[in-house]
Every structure is written in structure tokens, then in C-alpha cells.
């Protein structure tokens, strides 16, 4: 059976066949899109020397402790006032420094007597204080936001300051979802007669939206080979990049998916990975003239399905778009954990920052049966319990993936 790393790498190689286009979107619609160009600073930032405090602008001279007030400069005033070492102007945060000024004295450090500004006893000034220099944040023509950044409000702030009202981003992958199972009913129904609600369409749809890809819901279908065949054909006939199915990939009598995928012309790349939950992962490629579709057959179990999505699909999409993944962290285990197989376990867990110790501690979130949706819902990370280990000891450092 393939190890997690082997399976991951095979999938990654196949991702390289996917194609993406570059599209232009308005900056307001760019949230969580992946930038397909560098955004360049079209001005110096800040564009002029300005004050970072409300106060008084002076020409620094260690001998001088008081100045004549000759005016004021609000932000944006475009003032032509200039000063010498005996004069000062009141200046607001963000206002351009008057000619001759190199230093700002904050309001709270001076006493004002009519038109005389005096440095308070004990207040100190150093040359250049509270001045934001032209271009100190970003120089004209330098890269403000790098290609392959997933645009967050902090990046959009800078892009807006550079006047980038439209930006080039990669078009999102179109990702289909098809659930299979005789027991499934719509979530608006009260499940009766051994049925269960088809929740995977919802978790996967929103997991896809969460990484700003484009979900297409093909609903769910009974475990009848002819129905599955028909549904698969119609899904694969659309211009999807990725199709995710759930259910029907285990070894049960009604787990038809593998055979039917072959029947409709998909190439099986692998089946089963040495992990828990999510072992029966099926990975196929459906080759078409225009573009190939990667197919992930995830187990039907909602917990396994989301583990499979997070580990193999989401992370590979991030890799494809060169997005830095900084979701792995180390935490101190708060309890012993045991397992009696040589699979890699992904344990739904809850990590918490321990202020006094300056580290994260982590404990598992409820029972780890693959049916435990409540434990999953209460978790905030997946703890990695490696293949070769049978015990993780309390107090040990473990690797976790933030969710
Ligand atoms: P399977 O992978 O088809 O053997 O299904 C494994 C378990 O997941 C069974 O208990 C199913 O009832 C459940 N299951 C399958 N599909 C779904 C779904 N779409 N939503 C929620 N649970 C499901
Ligand atoms: Mg089933």
C-alpha cells in the first residue's frame, strides 16, 4: 500500500497537468484569489516625508528648547510654509514636513505659551524622530505584493495604495462533487428507514469555497451501477478540473465506484493509502482532448472525506499555485496516545496556547472512530501520529496541522 508521502507525490505530479488561466478581477472581488502577477509600487510609499505624530515640526538643534509658532499644517494641506531653527509649525499626523524641518516633537512633550512652544522639563528629542521618510515603506517600482500571494485584506490594502484597482489572478479550479450511497437522503429530510443525511456535499462544497475554488454540486446517487455510470459520464463531460466523489470505494459488495470509473474510461492511478482515517482513497485521471480531470474517490465517511480533502486535495492545490503553507505547528501532547497498526493516523485534536509555558498543548478531540462528526466539529487541528510509532507519550512534542 502507498504511504502518505508516496500518494501525495503521485497526486502532485498529476496536478502539474492541470491548466489554469489568468483572469482580471476588480480589487474588491480579489479576496482569496491567487495573484498571477507582481503588483508594483507606482509611487514611493510614503510619497513624501511626513509626520507620524500630531505635534510640532522643528529643525533639530540640541541647543534650542523653544520655538516661535508660525503656522499649522493639516494632513493634505500642500503647505508652502518653511521654518528655521527658531520657528515651528503645528503639524498633524500624515502632513508633509515643512521645508527646513527634520524632526517632530509630539504634542504631549511641549508647553504652549501664546506663540511660544517650549520643550517640557525632562522631555527629550532626537534628530529625525517621528518622521516617516519618502519611500521608507516601499520604493517606487519595487514589488509591493508578490505573484502567487493568496490575496488577503492586508495585501489588498497595499495593492489599493498602489492604485491596483484591477489585478490579474489565476482562474480557480472547477471542482465537481458527487456523493454515492443507497442510504443517502437530502439534508432537508428527517432520515427514516436506515437512511442518513447526505452531508458530504455540504462539507466538500464549502471546503472548496473556503480555498476560493469553484464548487459544482452533482448531488448524490444511489449505489446502482447504471445510475453511477450515467452521473459520472455527465460530470466528466463538463469542463471540470477535478471531480470528487464520496462513498463506494471500500471493499463492500456495493462499492462499485472503482469498476465504473474504469468503465467510463478513467485511468486508476492508485487505490488505498496507508493512513487512518481515509485509507480507501481512490485516485484516477480522466484524459480528455481539451483538458484532463483529476478524480478523487474519497470514502463516504464524512470524517474520512474531510481528512482526504485536507491532506491530498487542498494541500496539493496550494502547492500547485505555489502558496506557502504555514499551517503546520508543534505542540506538547497532553495525554498518551496508542495505536496498534503501522498506518499514519490523523487525529482530530484541539490545540490551545499555554501562556505561561509559551507553547501549544494538544489533546485529541473525542473518540476517533471515523463516524465521530462531533469530535471533528470540536477540533481545530489534525495531529499526525506517524506510521512507525505505536505510542505518543504525554509531554512529547507532536506535529499538528491547523484547520
Ligand atoms: P462508504 O464509503 O460508502 O462505505 O460509506 C462509509 C460510511 O459513510 C457509511 O456509514 C455511510 O453511510 C457514510 N456516508 C456515505 N456517504 C455519505 C455522505 N454523502 N454523507 C454522509 N455520510 C455518508
Ligand atoms: Mg456506501
- Ligand 2 centroid vs 223 CA: distance in angstroms? 7
For ligand 1, whether the C-beta of 372 sits within 6 Å is no
**pLDDT for position 231:** 97
In order of start, what are the domains of the chain with their CATH numbers? 4-20+172-320 (3.40.980.10), 22-44+137-170 (3.90.105.10), 50-132 (2.170.190.11), 328-402 (2.40.340.10)
User: What pLDDT does residue 371 have?
Assistant: 72
Ligand 1 neighbour 308 (Cβ under 6 A): no
**pLDDT for residue 149:** 97
**Ligand 1 in reach of 181 Cβ (< 6 A):** yes
CA atoms of 278 and 312, how far apart (whole Å)? 11
Helix, strand, or coil (residue 228) = helix
Main-chain phi, psi angles of 392, to 5 degrees? -115, 130
State the pLDDT at residue 366. 85
CA distance 277 to 265: 28
Asked whether 183 lines ligand 1 (CB < 6 A), one says yes
The residue to mutate among 178, 191, 247, 249, having the most atoms of ligand 1 within 8 angstroms of its beta carbon, is 247
Using the mean position of ligand 2's atoms as its centre, give its distance from the Cα of residue 369 in Å: 17
From the CB of 302, is ligand 1 less than 6 Å away?
yes
pTM of the model: 0.92
Residue 370's pLDDT is what?
A: 64
Cβ pair 222, 248 in contact under 8 A = no
* Nearest ligand to the C-alpha atom of residue 299: 1
CA-to-CA dists, residue 220 to 232, 242, 255, 317, 351, angstroms: 11, 17, 15, 24, 35
pLDDT in tens, the chain (403 residues): 999 999 999 999 999 999 999 999 999 999 999 999 999 999 999 999 999 999 999 999 999 999 999 999 999 999 999 999 999 999 999 999 999 999 999 999 999 999 999 999 999 999 999 999 999 999 999 999 999 999 999 999 999 999 999 999 999 999 999 999 999 999 999 999 999 999 999 999 999 999 999 999 999 999 999 999 999 999 999 999 999 999 999 989 989 999 999 999 999 999 999 999 999 999 999 999 888 999 999 999 999 999 999 999 999 999 999 998 899 999 999 999 999 999 999 999 999 999 999 999 999 998 877 678 998 999 999 999 999 999 999 999 999 999 9
Q: Which ligand does the CA of 300 lie closest to?
A: 1
The rounded Å distance from CA 178 to ligand 1 centre is 12
pLDDT at 254: 85
Q: Which residues sit with Cβ closer than 5 angstroms to ligand 2, an ion?
A: 181, 247, 300
Choosing from 189, 244, 300, 306 the residue with most ligand 1 atoms within 8 A of its CB, the one to mutate for a pocket test is 300
Q: Are strands 242-246 and 293-298 parallel, antiparallel or unpaired?
A: parallel
Give which of 338, 325, 58, 296 is closest to 177, Cα–Cα.
Answer: 296
Amino acid at each position: 500500500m502507498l504511504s502518505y508521502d508516496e500518494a501525495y507525490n503521485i497526486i502532485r505530479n498529476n496536478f502539474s497537468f492541470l491548466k489554469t488561466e489568468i483572469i482580471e478581477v476588480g480589487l474588491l472581488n480579489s479576496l482569496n484569489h491567487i495573484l498571477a502577477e507582481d503588483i508594483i509600487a507606482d509611487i514611493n510609499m510614503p510619497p513624501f516625508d511626513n509626520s507620524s505624530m500630531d505635534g510640532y515640526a522643528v529643525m533639530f538643534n540640541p541647543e534650542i528648547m523653544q520655538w516661535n509658532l508660525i503656522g499649522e499644517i493639516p494632513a493634505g494641506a500642500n503647505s508652502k510654509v518653511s521654518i528655521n531653527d527658531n520657528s515651528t509649525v503645528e503639524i498633524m499626523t500624515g502632513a508633509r514636513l515643512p521645508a527646513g524641518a527634520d524632526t517632530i516633537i509630539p504634542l504631549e512633550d511641549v508647553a504652549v505659551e501664546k506663540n511660544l512652544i517650549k520643550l517640557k522639563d525632562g522631555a527629550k528629542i532626537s534628530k529625525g524622530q517621528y518622521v516617516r521618510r519618502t519611500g521608507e515603506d516601499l520604493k517606487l517600482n519595487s514589488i509591493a505584493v508578490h505573484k502567487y500571494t493568496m490575496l488577503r485584506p492586508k495585501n489588498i490594502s497595499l495593492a489599493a495604495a498602489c492604485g491596483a484597482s484591477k489585478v490579474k489572478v489565476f482562474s480557480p479550479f472547477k471542482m465537481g462533487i458527487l456523493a454515492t450511497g443507497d442510504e443517502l437522503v437530502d439534508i432537508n429530510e428527517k432520515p427514516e428507514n436506515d437512511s442518513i443525511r447526505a452531508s458530504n456535499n455540504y462539507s466538500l462544497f464549502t471546503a472548496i469555497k473556503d480555498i476560493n475554488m469553484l464548487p459544482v454540486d452533482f448531488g448524490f446517487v444511489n449505489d446502482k451501477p447504471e445510475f453511477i455510470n450515467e452521473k459520472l459520464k455527465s460530470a466528466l463531460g463538463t469542463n471540470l478540473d477535478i471531480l470528487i466523489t464520496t462513498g463506494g470505494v471500500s471493499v463492500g459488495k456495493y462499492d462499485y465506484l472503482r469498476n465504473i470509473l474504469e468503465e467510463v474510461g478513467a485511468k486508476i492511478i492508485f487505490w488505498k493509502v496507508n493512513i487512518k482515517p481515509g485509507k480507501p482513497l481512490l485516485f484516477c485521471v480522466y484524459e480528455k482532448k481539451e483538458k484532463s480531470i483529476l478524480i478523487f474517490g474519497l470514502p463516504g465517511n464524512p470524517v474520512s472525506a474531510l481528512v482526504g480533502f485536507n491532506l491530498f486535495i487542498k494541500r496539493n492545490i496550494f502547492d500547485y499555485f505555489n502558496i506557502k503553507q504555514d499551517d503546520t505547528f508543534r505542540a506538547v501532547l497532553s495525554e498518551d496516545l496508542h495505536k496498534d497498526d503501522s498506518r499514519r493516523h490523523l487525529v482530530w485534536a484541539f490545540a490551545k496556547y499555554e501562556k505561561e509555558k509559551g507553547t501549544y498543548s494538544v489533546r485529541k478531540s473525542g473518540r476517533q472512530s471515523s463516524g465521530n462528526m462531533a469530535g471533528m466539529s470540536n477540533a481545530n487541528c489534525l495531529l499526525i501520529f506517524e506510521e512507525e510509532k505505536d505510542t505518543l507519550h504525554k509531554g512529547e512534542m507532536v506535529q499538528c496541522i491547523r484547520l
